[in-house]
Amino acid sequence: MAVHVIGGPASTALAERISRELGNVPFAIPFSKRFPDGELYVRIGGRMNGEDVVLVQSSRTDEDLVQLLLLEDAIREAGAKRLVVVVPYFAYARQDRRFYPGEPVSARALTRHLELDADAVVTVDLHSALTLEGFTKPVTEASGIPAIARLLRERPVDLLVSPDKGGVDRIKRLAELLDKPWMALEKKRIDSDHVELTLPAAHAGEIEGKQVVIVDDVISTGGTIVEAAKLLRKSRARAVLAACTHGLFLRDAFERIKAVTDELFSTDTLLNPAEKASVAPDIAQILRKMVPTLE
């Protein structure tokens, strides 16, 4: 039985890397366009009767989400036996609970729709484990940390830094993979775009002369990373790098971070100018366990 990897418009390059990691299984890019009225159109090539299909499509925008759902339906219409949907970046995952009456739980609403035509789902570094609870079908959350570790092994690194205590588990895992020391900054949020960061008293003298890497799961507006880099520079770090799994880089975030760091990179869950580390090997490893024909 054949296995096909289909790369949605938002994740074509990553999907091709995954197909190569799986032993160069057949890889296809669907055709997509917009009708004059603005509606989206997608089409996959040929029949897939009885085949296993892996669809890769991040969902950064609403357009990405609609394309994802249309592609799932197209693959089922083509006769696929099993469909595993890989959503490297899962949009709306940060809206995982209701704070005011009348609000939806957006993450839950999208999991319901996403898994309708899927037999299993793979995603990467969700904002919260609560999102996983919305799935009724098998779901696996990959981590971007191994990809970041593979890249950092090629660079001199003295100290790993989490911009807040919420990232302690993430930075500890990276520290274990690289056998490097780590620390977490103390963060006080002022508003959606501004934070105040301080060094823990116990680590006040540990920055000077060191090459430091700030690691986060998502970089969106970049405010936290910019302030962290400035603090580390003020503490006489020799070099400051910044890394993340999901590089959203909203507005001028990329330029602002580049201005205060020596290097900025992300994984390839999203298309962006900083993607240098690939999660393809880690996703492929998960898929081999999910799809019997890949064993």
- Residues annotated as catalytic are 187
Of 226, 228, 219, the C-alpha closest to 198 is 228
| Three-state secondary structure call for residue 90 | coil
Please say whether the beta carbons of 86 and 18 come within 8 A.
yes
**C-alpha to C-alpha distance for 269 and 271, rounded to whole angstroms:** 7
Cα–Cα distances (Å) from 289 to 53, 168, 181, 209, in that order, read 14, 29, 33, 44
Task: Please name the amino acid found at residue 107.
Answer: A
User: Computed over its alpha carbons, how large is the radius of gyration of the chain?
Assistant: 20
C-alpha span between 81 and 142 (Å, rounded): 24
| Beta bridge partner(s), residue 120 | 84
Distance CA 282, CA 193 (A): 32
Please state, in angstroms and rounded to a whole number, the distance separating the CA atoms of residues 259 and 85: 37
Rounded Cα–Cα distance for residues 278 and 89 (Å):
13
